[in-house]
Amino acid sequence: MKTRFSKHLRFLCLLSLTVWANGPRASAQTPPVLGIQLYAGLSITGAVGAVYSVEYVTDLALTNSWRCLEFLQLPASPYLWADKSASATGKRFYRAGAFAVPTNLVFIPPGTFRLGSPTNEVDRFTDEGPQTAVTISRGGGWMGKYEVTHGEYLAVTTNNPSSFTGDTNRPVESVSWFDATNYCAMLTQRERAARRIATNSVYRLPTEAEWEYACRGWTSDRRFSSGDDPGYTNLTNYAWNSGPPTHPVGQKLANPWGLYDMYGNVAEWCQDWYGTYPGAIAVDPQGTATGPGRVFRGGAWNTGAGGCRSAARVAGPPTSVSGFCSTQVSPEREGSGGATRGVCLRKGRGASMRTCID
């Protein structure tokens, strides 16, 4: 088997946006009705399969202080939702509002998958094991449909570090892990100020487990979301990996969840330090406490076909520059001191990112 670790990144992925906890309100909603319940939760009536933002306040007079608890894809109607985070004392008032989905976001449901690759996978590297049964447990989340583009990055930071210019729909690249996380912080501040996300929601990079879960789209133990593709004859339908330059986002086929450019184009930063997988079973793993570099995923325009597989992973110093594709927005959990999920970055000549919302 082969072991791979990159000390000098040729590409890095900066930003991937996934919304995990709160987002803009729907433009038209049924007028709210106050209901008093004897349990910590509420009964939700609505369209089965639609996604709702479940929020709370401790005082109804605090109209601008609603905090998002989770995104819920309604499994039945009516549905009895319970707040597992509520304390035994105190009080909370709840509401559930239909989530007005921006066109550049995709809902990723919670679930279980196998992180890493089986020992007999063709072109496997030894750092892709031991395989770990991972559960992504905390509700669902929203992830950027595309890698973060030049135009999006420029609108938030007022600069564009990319080497491949000429089209603002190309994925931003040549950004470090610190650039990616700074972009997420600036985006969070802007969206909170505009009241498009809840006061406790953040944009962040995804964890490595979240990134691979989203990439696979229910396809554990297959090399790509489209299948094993033994001769890599199908990869060209999903990935730009045959040389420069980078290409505008969304021109190849999407994976089963509607995410584009998960393979090739630009590499994507993840939140985690590079380290050994825990093995056995893990729930919402956050990676190791430290490591020789930060993880980036997905391969890039200059990556061989084997390096674009769903399980392939590379690490580099967080100061190295690469591309990033999307961010993720997630709610900060009570008592956590920060977000429990993060913005995922995606790949490039340097790196790029994708964002998530918590």
* pLDDT tens readout for residues 292-336: 999 999 999 999 999 999 999 999 999 887 544 444 545 543 332
Q: Which residue in the block uniquely carries the two structure tokens 């063709």?
A: 122
What phi, psi does 291 have (nearest 5°)? 180, 180
Residues 6+ away with beta carbon under 8 Å from 168: 149, 150, 151, 154
Residues 6+ away with beta carbon under 8 Å from 233: none
Continuous segment of H or E residues that includes residue 331 = strand 327-331
CATH number belonging to the domain at 102-357, selected among 3.90.1580.10, 3.90.550.10, 3.40.50.10420, 3.50.50.60: 3.90.1580.10
- Which amino acid appears at position 352 of this protein? S
- Angular region, 277: left φ>0, alpha ψ -120 to 50, beta rest: beta
Rg (CA), the chain: 20
* pLDDT tens readout for residues 70-84: 889 999 999 999 998
Q: What is the pTM of this model?
A: 0.82
Break the chain into its structural domains and give their ranges: 25-100, 102-357
Residues facing 123 on adjacent strands: none
* pLDDT tens readout for residues 109-155: 999 999 999 999 999 999 999 999 999 987 778 888 999 999 999 99
